[in-house]
Amino acid sequence: MTIDHGLAGALRGRRYLLSAWPWRALAYSVTTLPLAGAAALGAAVVAAPLILVAGAMRQDRPVDAAVLAVLAVLALTVVAFAPLAGAPVAAVERWRLGLVDDRPVTAPRWRGLVARFTTADGWREGAYLAVLGVAVPLAYGMFGLLVLLDVALVAGPWLADGEDRIVLIWTTVGSPAEAAPYAVAGLLAVPALVYLAGLLVAAQAAVARLLLDDAPGGTALREVTRSRARLVSAYEAERRRVERDVHDGVQPRLTSLTLQLGLARLDVSDDSPAAKPLAAAHEQAKDLMVTLRGIVQGIRPQQLTELGLAAAVGDLAARSVVPVTVHADLTRPVPDLVETTAWYVVSETLGNVARHSGAGRAEVRLTRTDRLLVVEVRDDGRGGADPARG
């Protein structure tokens, strides 16, 4: 599945022309010009020997070896230092991408000058510098030509003064009346040019992200993580709703039914034909009460709801057959789902300590860092856990 973001996604919308995205694309393209101009100078230096040789071969003239050698050395120097020259340009480009794409771009970690030539990061930034120096000027030049042609069409009625005939792309006109239809066509072409400019900028931004994002899969991973977080939140909200409905709606009615069956048993004599079925129904209702209470408490441990994570783990420690010491350093609240997971982890682990370790004591430590809840369970048992042996 592909997800369109920023300008690329806005181009698919019907209100693109009325949004801020065309202006953001314009800002991106305008700030591209100085970068592309500087990169084009370097590309011209690299291309000069090839142009010189090609021109000489076409005219059957001898090539000055000294001049060619100097140009070749200069071109090789430019290519060799592309990874270094690409670093500042890439830093600016990663910042500029925010104009047309709100997703973050991961920059590679600086590993020294040598790493610029021995890792792919430096050469990818050098490749983007080449794109800026060759492909971008060509694409922008062709688009600029289209804009000039459209401006000429729109300005045709003012340029054609009736004395001299002017050329409008494929025809000549000599009066404002003859130029008017072409002016209308030029005005109608303006939205198409705006969309074309957006496509051009979106393509450049896509190439920039492909070459300059150190973690190209990171964006998709962040999207998957956010999607999972939304699903987990929705599941947690639904779980709470089910728990509340069962606890507040079904359980009281079942309790009332059990009491009424018990009262009915008191009013029915033991030798009555209804006594045995009524007793069975009463026992089944009481069993169902126990089962339902277990289901409600199993969705989220009741200790967590009433006591919180630290006290709930303390309650587990108090009920353990092995003496357990609990150290809790929870300076900030913990999300409910994390609390529930941590409680089950501690519960299962303390059960394993009691059954398998032969420990004399155990320790549980809960620590809340900036973004993590760390749960540690230690014991002085024999250890020896081996996945190969189950």
pLDDT, one tens digit per residue, over 160-176 is 766 666 777 677 777 77
Q: 57 exposed, middle or buried (CB, 10 Å; 0-12, 13-18, 19+)? A: exposed
Let me know whether 134 and 278 are in one domain.
Answer: no
Handedness of CA 144, 147, 148, 149 (dihedral sign): positive
pTM of the model: 0.51
CB 17 within 8 A of CB 198: no
Let me know whether 193 and 90 are in one domain.
Answer: yes
Let me know whether 189 and 116 are in one domain.
Answer: yes
Q: Supply the pLDDT for residue 223.
A: 64
Residue owning tokens 């045709």:
156
Let me know whether 293 and 323 are in one domain.
Answer: no
Domain boundary pick from 181, 214, 247: 214
Q: Supply the pLDDT for residue 362.
A: 93
Let me know whether 15 and 79 are in one domain.
Answer: yes
Let me know whether 26 and 151 are in one domain.
Answer: yes
Nearest partner of 206 among 3, 8, 1, 2, judged by Cα: 8
Model pLDDT for residues 119-157, shown as the tens digit of each residue: 777 778 888 888 888 889 999 999 999 998 888 888 888
Handedness of CA 176, 177, 182, 185 (dihedral sign): positive
Q: Supply the pLDDT for residue 297.
A: 57
Q: Supply the pLDDT for residue 1.
A: 34
CATH of the domain at 310: 3.30.565.10
Q: Supply the pLDDT for residue 162.
A: 61
Nearest partner of 97 among 198, 240, 209, judged by Cα: 209
1 within some domain = no
Domain boundary pick from 155, 186, 214: 214
Q: Supply the pLDDT for residue 52.
A: 64
CB 239 within 8 A of CB 299: yes
CB 7 within 8 A of CB 21: yes
95 within some domain = yes
Let me know whether 39 and 169 are in one domain.
Answer: yes
Q: Supply the pLDDT for residue 276.
A: 82
Q: Supply the pLDDT for residue 222.
A: 60
57 within some domain = yes
**What range does the domain containing 48 cover?**
6-214
Domain boundary pick from 181, 199, 214: 214
The domain tally of the chain equals 3
Let me know whether 362 and 227 are in one domain.
Answer: no
Let me know whether 194 and 53 are in one domain.
Answer: yes
118 within some domain = yes
Which positions of the chain have pLDDT values less than 70? 1-5, 48-68, 70-72, 75, 78, 161-165, 169, 214-225, 232, 235-236, 239, 247, 293-302, 387, 390
